[in-house]
Amino acid sequence: MIIGLDVGGTHTDVVLLDNAGLLREVKVATDASDLFRSVFKGLNAITEGVDTGAIRRIVLSTTLTTNAIIQNTIPPVGMIVSAGPGIDPEHFRTNPHYVCVKGSIDHRGREVEPVQPEETQAAAERFRKDGIRQVGVVGKFSVRNPAHEIRIGELLGNSFDKIFLGHRVSGGLNFARRIATTFLNAAVYPIHKTFFDAVLNSLSVKGLRLPLRLLKADGGNMKLEASVDFPAQTILSGPAASVMGAVAMAARDEDAIVMDIGGTTTDLAVLIGRAPALAPHGIDIGPYRTLIRSLETLSIGMGGDSAVRLKNGCLTVGPDREGPAILFGGSVPTPTDALAVIGDLAHEDRARARAGLKPVADKMGIPIETLADQVVETACRAMLEAAGRLTAHINGKPVYTLHEFKEGYQVRPRSILVLGGPAPCFAKHLQRLTPMQVRVVPRWQAANAIGAALARTTCEVGLFADTEQRVASAPAEKFLQPIMDGYGLEAATAQALGLLRVKALERGANPDYLEMEVVESQQFNMVRGFNTSGKNIRVRVQVKPGLIHGYDDLLRSLAAPAP
């Protein structure tokens, strides 16, 4: 059996699956002030009366790190950055405790200027006085040679709770994005570590020893233990769960919009021939542009519980949420109340929803039913407008999916796949406003949790080789090895795939169904004078993202209409 759990802004959805189908699903209220309690309450409910020894794994999707960044509740961290000649790293400043130091490595991994220990020691002393507990260290070309980052880490010693080295966080060459990525990992670490410890400790108290994994932004997962070293990988895992749920139950190959309508937000993504569109350079979240591999998603503040107000005589819906719908005990009218008034949402006390909308309707001088129609249409138009923006954004640059680069491709969605609690209620109103076919995803209420449960373990490896210097390296994997004459692209690819297999198995991948692929393969001649002096080789490989094997019967049962 497998458990999938997705923490949303309003509800936490949990499912229990086996190869025969969906055994049980649970929905509990999300406590935004204590997300761990929401997770534990959901796990406790889904495992009641179940032989936990038969559970193969649990995959969690959380909004914890995302919320901390968006709400700017991350703690202060220290950053030590070295660049050498060229652009001033001050241009990439992430936070107040940001120190630039001397020392540089060139683009081929050769030392140009050594580290100055006294600079690092002075920075460490400042950090300690300011109460800093986490530090990030980034060198411009550390992915070619991490020696300086390692040395600075050694100089920092054991005075801090956690030190993140840029070459370990990402093997990407983009200096500015690697700085932001390292900073975010350091910043969300204490929040994530508290959550990690609370999950393990509470399960231990109950005598539960369950294999736990976390969903990543690229739609894959990693072992919970591994997430402690890469906590920022869980940013935007919520939208990723929605996409994987739609992939699991998409009816046919096509370009489609995935629209997960929740109580607080609507999360959107694009499927291209059943493969999710990918943000190849990494997540952009708030002011931070990162190297965190991610699906292309867009979240808007529009959902079933978005606040309905009259501002300067104009009707507004969202982007904020002030609690549940009036129908369910809230104090501010919402689209959920409007759906109840229209008759699309069955509830025995529709009069409560009418009473909640009446003050707004009276101020506008229109019947309550007319207002309800306008509220729902306003919400649907915002969702469709966001879908158009996301499509235009993807088409405005080279199009990548999780599986391939699609040169010259233009996304033309023909369908909208709707999931989330209020999906059927919104679907018919969306259909009136768009020529695209609107389809409700089977098991729409729990599809995001199902997507989390069925996602594969994924990871990637980047390898760099310089045949003139006779060295091959993958600093993120702590790999450095001399190479012999005749070493070329084929040997580099084989070496990278070998490293990837080891890494994937360490993170919990299934060794019997380990689909690896090459996503980047480049080789350039280096010339001195008029002669070729060597080759510069770059290879990037990944575990092919997708759904786990061995659950075909389950997928067929999920694609069938719900009883």
What are the chain's domains?
A: 2-71+192-239 (3.30.420.40), 78-188 (3.40.50), 251-440 (3.30.420), 460-543 (no CATH)
> Running along the chain, 563 residues long, what does each successive block of 10 average in pLDDT?
82 84 86 77 86 83 77 88 86 93 86 92 94 94 86 91 90 87 93 81 74 85 84 84 78 82 86 82 84 86 89 87 87 93 84 91 92 94 95 85 75 90 91 94 85 85 87 86 89 93 85 82 68 77 77 64 51
DSSP structure string for 363-377: HHTS-HHHHHHHHHH
Burial of residue 74 (CB within 10 Å: 0-12, 13-18, 19+) is buried
Query: In 3-state terms, what secondary structure has residue 322?
Result: coil
- pLDDT of amino acid 532: 59
- pLDDT of amino acid 78: 96
Pairing of strands 415-419, 255-261: parallel
Q: Could you tell me the two tokens for 265?
A: 């937000």
- pLDDT of amino acid 63: 73
- pLDDT of amino acid 94: 93
- pLDDT of amino acid 561: 55
No. of H helices and E strands in the chain?
A: 15, 31
Distance CA 414, CA 410 (A): 13
Is-contact 264 9, C-beta < 8 A? yes
- pLDDT of amino acid 563: 47
The residue ranges of DSSP E strands in 248-403, in sequence order, are 255-261, 266-272, 275-276, 278-279, 284-285, 288-289, 294-295, 297-300, 306-311, 314-321, 399-400
Distance CA 323, CA 326 (A): 9
- pLDDT of amino acid 372: 94
CA torsion sign for 119, 124, 125, 130 is positive
- pLDDT of amino acid 102: 92
Q: Could you tell me the two tokens for 117?
A: 């220990």
